[in-house]
């Protein structure tokens, strides 16, 4: 009987691993070996689970370090004490809290002996029919080196997004830089200059970083950029991005970083999709560097509960160790030339970062082709033919398709239990781990169930080689189209091919236990790549990527078939049935944990809209789609004392969600925005007017819009030119202007000025009272629906106000 056959399965003469029975041992030894083989299945599954845990992204993070650590070390506790000062409240540009945080950072840098400055500029971007500008205030400082060969800039952004407190995004990056600077200054001075850039308005479109890159004279001296970001509240800090020609900087990372976590796949992904971190403008300007980010616990991303309490201190320590060790190394290197040909890189827990030239990718692909051809030759020489291999390919495709289909069913079924689905930006649900485990259990049940069925007629060699064909083709394709990501499939396929060779060629000369053990060893390279890549794709793409995650899980299992063949003992059904039970159990736990709590609040929406001069205003909330939305609606009714019986379109207030449930609200007595005509000239048939606008309620955002059918065109904001102004329908400005927001308008001569100014105040309690938006702890503002803001509309019409505006 073959080592890879269950007692109730048909034998395969070409695959039989013979065990000669010595007359000296007799039946007793045979029974002992049979007993050992019956435990191979349980042991295999246990070892695979242990390997999955070891290679998981959730292991290998450094522990937090206390505040009494040596001065030359990074202490997460010391950094956390700074973070609680930064992340007291939301601090978007233009808010009083934003100004307080900036002042605090200037004071901290001054305490470190630096001479910080604040760069003030208007920065902008334009997309389609909208334009965005902001008055940005970047905090900049410099630590001189002893004999600098180029400057290293450490950057993170200090603004937060909307209502988010911003502890993770990006308070962690800011305090990482501050604590790293303190530790650096406690040691020997560095050779190279170190710049600190704490950018403003990153959340509005990288506007602070763009202002520095485009305008600041220090840009010419910068050789390297170290960027520190966060998209969530935990997990390992990953080196997610470099610039092109990354060979030199990756080798520096390999030498210096004690806890590296990197995979060149992220580099390939970033090269093919729009980037959205402060590293991007530097990369576009030709600067080399490293972009670090943590992306786990994504449910807190941009949320009001992105607080220090919801941040993993281990993640903060990981951030700091990256920063300190890499900066210490780079600070003493010659930075004259920091570019070299691209390399392939990936990290392995407890071992470190593996790096090899990108030119090896083609050679590895050639080696895979040779191995695959040799495997086909072995099948041909067996005299059986290729029919079993082709059937094995079909079975592997069916297994992947069934796993894909199961994930699709989950995606359509689970939202009914999760009121937060669709209101989060960093994940689909607050907690997705149980559902990912359900995907794994389903894939195991499907693959082992199909394998047990097929083994009644086919050998493990045919099934394993057949299951290799699609991943093999994928590895060769990746080697050509995305060479720096190809290793994630090349090495697992190579290990699986070697496992097939072991089963086919060496199996007859190996003992049963040795044959099984070697097959399990070949699973190690498979899981080394498949496990972390699957986890990273899940965390980065959220559970919405579940169907493709399931396919990747099925591929990993199919590449491990020679080892998984042993799980058919003692019975071929126990793993598939156990997988089905595990699916039910994990789904049950996940659904039970989906009920809204203080840690996992449900979304709720309430906004206030008022047009200056009107006798009344409006409350607006979200429609009730199903019973999960009732608590949020009941809260909105209780807060406003009305039943939301109206349906209104609030797009005139810059609230672009179509018709929404509304109710009459009391008008507020507040000062209108200041509008001043600064300049009014006519050249030929064109009238050009410069108008200054300033909010008197301290709104963070000013939105300007006009009738697209009108002949008025907005051509610049604060001197920043608008491209294709005829396509523009609205523009906005964030931040505190210096001293006003200046709009330059063009219209036909004799045409009156006519446009709307909308103030968005993200501190609506200042107008409506502290209780207006207070919630029970199981509810939180819906950031997707722009909840918790007051929107005030001011219609500027020259025909009524020209005299007053001109005199002012």
Could you tell me the domains of the chain? 26-58+360-592 (no CATH), 76-348 (3.40.630.10), 602-808 (no CATH)
Greatest CA span in the chain, whole angstroms?
117
Burial tier of 610 (Cβ tally within 10 Å: 0-12, 13-18, 19+): buried
Nearest alpha-carbon partner for 289 in 155, 459, 95: 155
Distance, in Å, from the CA atom of 630 to the CA atom of 640, rounded to the nearest integer, reads 15
Dist CA 243 CA 290 (whole Å):
8
Do the beta carbons of residue 554 and residue 400 sit within 8 Å? yes
- For the CA atoms of 454, 458, 464, 465, the dihedral, rounded to the nearest 10 degrees, stands at -130
Q: Would you list the DSSP string of 405-422?
A: HHHHHHHHHGGGG-TTTT
Give the per-residue pLDDT at 209.
98
Residue in 469, 483, 489, 579 with CA at minimum distance from that of residue 534: 489
Name the pairing type of β-strands 130-143 and 730-734: parallel
Return all residues near 517 (Cβ < 8 A) that are at least 6 apart. none
Two structure tokens written together for 353: 């970062």
For the chain, residues with pLDDT lower than 70 are 1-38, 271-275, 382-385, 506-511, 799-808
Output the pLDDT for position 9. 37
pLDDT single digits (tens) 680-709: 999 989 999 999 999 999 999 999 998 877
Spell out the residues 6+ positions from residue 110 whose beta carbon is closer than 8 angstroms to its own. 116
62: preceding bond cis by omega (within 30 degrees): no
Cβ partners under 8 Å of residue 19, min gap 6: 33, 511, 512
If one counts every other C-beta atom within 10 angstroms of the C-beta of residue 767, the result is 16
- Name 485's Cβ contacts closer than 8 Å, sequence gap at least 6: 264, 265, 267, 268, 269, 478
* Structure confidence at residue 272 (pLDDT): 65
**297 and 234 Cβ atoms separated by less than 8 Å:** yes
The helix-helix angle for 460-481 and 387-413 (nearest 10°) equals: 70
Closest CA to 289 of 299, 278, 297: 278
Per residue in 422-432, is it b (16+ CB within 10 Å) or e — as a string?
Answer: ebbbbbbbbbb
**CA 544 to CA 300: how far, in whole Å?**
17
Q: Which of 407, 364, 700, 449 is nearest to 551 (CA)?
A: 407
285 phi and psi, to 5 degrees?
-85, 5
Q: What is the pLDDT of residue 1?
A: 37
Q: How far is CA 42 from CA 377, 479, 534, 726, in A?
A: 34, 36, 24, 70
CA distance linking residue 158 with residue 82, whole number of Å: 13
Q: Is the peptide bond before 170 cis (omega within 30 degrees of 0)?
A: yes
CA distance 773 to 521: 58
Whether 347 contacts 355, CB under 8 Å: no
Q: Judging by DSSP bridges, how do beta strands 730-734 and 720-721 pair with one another?
A: unpaired
Give the DSSP per-residue string, 21-46: PPTTTHHHHHHHHHHHHHTHHHHHHH
Task: List the one residue out of 552, 542, 386, 557 whose CA is nearest residue 474.
Answer: 552
Could you give the CA distance from residue 725 to residue 706 in angstroms, rounded to a whole number?
12
Phi, psi values for residue 467, rounded to 5°: -70, -15
- Tokens 């093919």, residue located: 272
Determine how β-strand 151-157 pairs with β-strand 194-199.
parallel
> For residues 105 and 199, what is the distance between their CA atoms, to the nearest angstrom?
11
Separation of alpha carbons 595 and 180, rounded Å:
40
pLDDT of residue 503: 80
Query: Quick one: pLDDT at residue 11?
Result: 38
Distance CA 203, CA 93 (A): 9
**DSSP track, 581-630:** HHHHHHHHHHHHTTS--SSSPEEE--EEEEETT-SEEEEE-----SGGGH
Residue 551 Cα distances to 56, 208, 396, 782, angstroms: 18, 41, 10, 33
Tell me what pLDDT residue 35 has. 52
Retrieve residue 758's tokens.
């909308």
SS (H, E, C) 181-237: HHHHHCCCCCCCCEEEEEECCHHHCCHHHHHHHHHCHHHHHEEEEEEEEECCCEEEE
Each residue's pLDDT tens digit, 42-91 = 899 999 999 999 999 888 789 999 999 999 999 999 999 999 999 999 99
Please state, in angstroms and rounded to a whole number, the distance separating the CA atoms of residues 354 and 83. Answer: 34
β partners of residue 267: none
Rounded CA-CA distance 231/225 in Å is 19
Cα angle for residues 548, 551, 554 (degrees, 5° grid)? 155
């Amino acid at each position: 009987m073959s080592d890879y056959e269950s007692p109730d399965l048909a034998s395969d003469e070409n695959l039989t691993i013979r065990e000669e029975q010595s007359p000296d041992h007799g039946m007793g030894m045979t029974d002992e070996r049979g007993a050992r083989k019956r435990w191979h299945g349980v042991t295999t599954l246990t070892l695979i689970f242990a390997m999955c845990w070891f290679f998981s992204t959730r292991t290998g993070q450094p522990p937090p370090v206390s505040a009494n650590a040596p001065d030359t070390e990074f202490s997460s506790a010391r950094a956390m004490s700074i973070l609680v000062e930064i992340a007291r409240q939301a601090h978007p540009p233009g808010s009083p809290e934003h100004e307080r945080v900036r002042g605090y950072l200037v004071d901290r840098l001054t305490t470190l002996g630096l001479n910080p400055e604040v760069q003030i500029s208007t920065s902008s971007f334009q997309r389609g029919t909208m334009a965005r500008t902001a008055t940005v205030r970047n905090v900049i400082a410099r630590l001189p080196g002893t004999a600098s060969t180029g400057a290293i800039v450490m950057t993170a952004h200090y603004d937060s997004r909307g209502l988010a407190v911003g502890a993770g995004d990006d308070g962690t990056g800011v305090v990482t830089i501050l604590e790293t600077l303190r530790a650096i200054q406690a040691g020997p001075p560095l050779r190279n200059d170190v710049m600190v850039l704490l950018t403003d308005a990153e959340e509005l479109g990288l506007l602070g970083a763009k202002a520095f890159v485009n305008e600041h004279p220090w840009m010419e001296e910068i050789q390297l950029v170290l960027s520190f970001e966060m998209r969530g509240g935990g997990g390992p800090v990953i080196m997610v991005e470099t610039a092109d020609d990354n060979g030199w900087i990756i080798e520096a990372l390999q030498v210096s970083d004690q806890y590296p976590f990197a995979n060149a796949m992220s580099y390939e992904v970033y090269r093919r999709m729009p980037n959205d971190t402060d590293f991007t403008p530097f990369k576009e300007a030709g600067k080399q560097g490293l972009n670090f980010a943590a992306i786990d616990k994504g449910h807190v991303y941009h949320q009001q509960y992105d607080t220090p309490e919801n941040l993993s201190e281990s993640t903060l320590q990981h951030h700091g160790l990256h920063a300190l060790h890499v900066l210490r190394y780079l600070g003493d290197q010659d930075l004259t030339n920091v570019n070299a040909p691209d390399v392939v890189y990936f990290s392995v827990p407890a071992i470190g970062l593996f790096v090899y030239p990108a030119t090896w990718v083609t050679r590895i692909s050639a080696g895979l082709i040779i191995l695959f051809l040799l495997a086909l030759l072995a099948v041909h020489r067996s005299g059986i033919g290729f029919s079993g291999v082709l059937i094995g390919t079909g079975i592997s495709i069916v297994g992947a398709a069934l796993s894909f289909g199961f994930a699709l069913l989950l995606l359509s079924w689970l939202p009914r239990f999760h009121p937060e689905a669709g209101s989060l930006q960093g994940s689909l649900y607050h907690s997705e781990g149980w559902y990912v485990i359900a995907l794994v259990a389903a894939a195991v049940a499907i693959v082992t169930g199909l394998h047990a069925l097929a083994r009644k007629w086919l050998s493990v060699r045919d099934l394993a080689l057949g299951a290799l064909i699609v991943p093999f083709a994928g590895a060769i394709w990746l080697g050509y189209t995305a060479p720096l990501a190809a290793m994630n499939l090349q090495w697992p396929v190579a290990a699986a091919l070697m496992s097939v060779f072991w089963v086919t060629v060496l199996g007859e000369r190996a003992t049963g236990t040795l044959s099984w053990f070697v097959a399990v060893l070949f699973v190690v390279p498979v899981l080394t790549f498949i496990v972390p890549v699957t986890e990273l794709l899940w965390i980065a793409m959220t559970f919405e990527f579940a169907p493709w995650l399931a396919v990747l899980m099925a591929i990993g299992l199919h590449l491990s078939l020679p080892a998984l063949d042993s799980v058919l003992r003692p019975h071929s059904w126990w793993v598939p049935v156990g997988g089905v039970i595990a699916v039910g159990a994990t789904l049950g736990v996940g659904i039970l944990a989906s009920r809204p709590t203080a840690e996992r609040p449900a979304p709720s929406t309430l906004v206030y809209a008022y047009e200056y001069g009107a006798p009344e205003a409006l409350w607006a909330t979200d429609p009730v789609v199903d019973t999960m939305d009732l608590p949020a609606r009941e809260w909105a009714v209780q807060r406003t004392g009305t039943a939301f019986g109206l349906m209104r379109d609030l797009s005139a207030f810059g609230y672009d969600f179509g018709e929404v449930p509304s109710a009459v609200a009391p008008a507020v007595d507040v000062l209108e925005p200041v509008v001043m005509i600064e300049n009014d000239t006519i050249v030929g048939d064109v009238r050009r007017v410069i108008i200054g606008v300033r909010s008197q309620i301290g709104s963070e955002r000013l939105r300007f819009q006009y009738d697209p059918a009108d002949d008025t065109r907005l051509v610049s904001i604060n001197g920043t030119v608008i491209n294709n102004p005829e396509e523009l329908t609205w523009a906005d400005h964030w931040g505190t202007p210096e001293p006003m927001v200046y709009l330059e308008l063009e219209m036909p001569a004799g045409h009156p000025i006519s446009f709307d100014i909308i103030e968005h105040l993200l501190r609506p309690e200042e107008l409506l009272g502290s209780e207006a938006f207070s919630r029970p702890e199981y509810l939180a503002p819906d950031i997707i629906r722009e909840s918790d803001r007051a929107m005030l509309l001011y219609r500027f019409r020259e025909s009524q106000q020209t005299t007053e505006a001109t005199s002012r």
